[in-house]
Amino acid sequence: MAEDIKITLLHTALSSEQALAFVEDPTAGGIVTFVGNVRNHSQGKEVHYLEFEAYEAMAIKVMDEIAQEMKAKFPIHKIYTAHRLGKVAIGESAVIIAVSASHRAEAFDATEYMIDELKARVPIWKKEYWVDGSHWVNAHP
């Protein structure tokens, strides 16, 4: 991985501060951070918590590929992507993406690209737990 890219999977709390600290750059006029938190409802049911599993080596590889695509597609400076694994409580962050660029538009576009591609391609699976059961969501790769 390049020094301007940080990708991580964690079984502990994610930090927006770490994300921002990594992407800060004196040439960056725009920094965009996306934080995906666990919400308390889905499909009309009350969610108690989520659980994430991943094929970790492949997830890191694909996330790095997406970051490389971002660098080729958008004039950005730095990229930070972190995703939680294991049990994640309501209100906790499941994913944090931060991107810096000279201008805000490129940072917004690149951040949106990462979250869309991450959800579509990265082998991370989410299981929702409700009061009356559970089920896997977005089973892909």
**Which tokens hold the place of 37?**
């938190």
Q: By mean pLDDT, which of 70-74, 101-105, 127-131 is the weakest?
A: 127-131
The whole-number pLDDT of residue 140 equals 56
Nearest partner of 62 among 83, 85, 34, judged by Cα: 83
Nearest partner of 34 among 87, 111, 91, 86, judged by Cα: 111
Superfamily of domain covering 5-132:
Molybdopterin biosynthesis MoaE subunit (3.90.1170.40)
The CA distance from 69 to 86, in Å, is 28
The CA distance from 10 to 86, in Å, is 9
Q: What is the DSSP letter of 55?
A: -
User: pLDDT of 43-95, one tens digit each?
Assistant: 888 999 999 999 999 999 999 999 999 999 999 999 999 999 999 999 999 99
**Which tokens hold the place of 59?**
């997830």
User: pLDDT of 5-38, one tens digit each?
Assistant: 999 999 999 999 999 999 999 999 999 999 999 9
For 78-109, b where at least 16 C-beta lie within 10 A, e where not — what string?
Answer: bbbbbbbbeebeeeebbbbbbbbbeeeebbbb
